[in-house]
A = this chain, B = another copy of it.
Amino acid sequence: MVKTSDDRFTKKSSAPKRRRLNPDERRVELLEAALQVLRSRDPVDARVEDVTARAGAAKGTFYLYFPSWNDLLVAVRTHLLSSYINEMSRRWTDESANWWVSFEKECLYFVDYIVELGNLHQAIFHGPIADQPIEAELSANTLLSILLKEGIESGHCRPVDVEAAAPLLFSVLHTTADGILHEGDKQQKTASLIELLRAWLLVPTPNHEEAVKALGGSPKLR
């Protein structure tokens, strides 16, 4: 038999290790592996094999759980959005504070969340599944619309056209996050964001200046 001493590229015919898992568990493992992989490298370079390798599964196993790579991306997207919404609804359940205060907080949470996505954002919102619509109940725009509507009804938010305002709101949040991610200076970016939000959406009151001052200075206003 031909035997070479070059081991660099010799496939090892290891004894097959089968890990039989509950299908749900296996799916979760793959999903979480995907999260790690997509975070850790440029998402366009991520390959199916990276995911299965990290999940301790065989390449083919992937296709038992996801019809295609794009479907995985959609699943990742769904997962992340859902988890954000869960956290968010928890936050708004025990809302005691004034709507605007909660709203500003939420916006900053949102920015942080996107910052933490890192590469994942690219993979999920741009890239091949950019055009596949997000289920309405998960979309950031839906979320923000709901928030804005509540704010308007409570009289703390200016009565803007919610349909059109939500995407604008999302974009400034996202841009702020991107800026922080790429250039740092969270302080400055955040301050400018809050300034914009207050000018745009906070209902002017008779003693507006004081009210704003009362909201305080987390962001430095000038």
Contact = CB atoms under 8 A, between A and B. Distances in A.
A37 to B, nearest CB: 15
Contacts of A64: 11
B2 A27 contact: yes
A181 to B, nearest CB: 11
Tell me whether chain A's interface is mostly helix, strand or loop, or mixed. helix
Nearest to A164: B192
A44 interface: yes
Given A165-B192, A189-B164, A44 B6 contact: no
B192 A8 contact: no
Interface residues on A, range: 35 or more
Given A6-B74, A196-B200, A1 B24 contact: yes
A98 B187 CA distance: 33
Contacts of A4: 31, 75, 78-79, 82
24 contacts: A2-B31, A2-B79, A4-B75, A5-B78, A5-B135, A9-B65, A10-B27, A11-B23, A11-B64, A11-B65, A12-B23, A13-B22, A122-B130, A158-B199, A160-B192, A160-B195, A161-B222, A164-B179, A167-B179, A168-B192, A170-B175, A171-B174, A171-B175, A196-B200
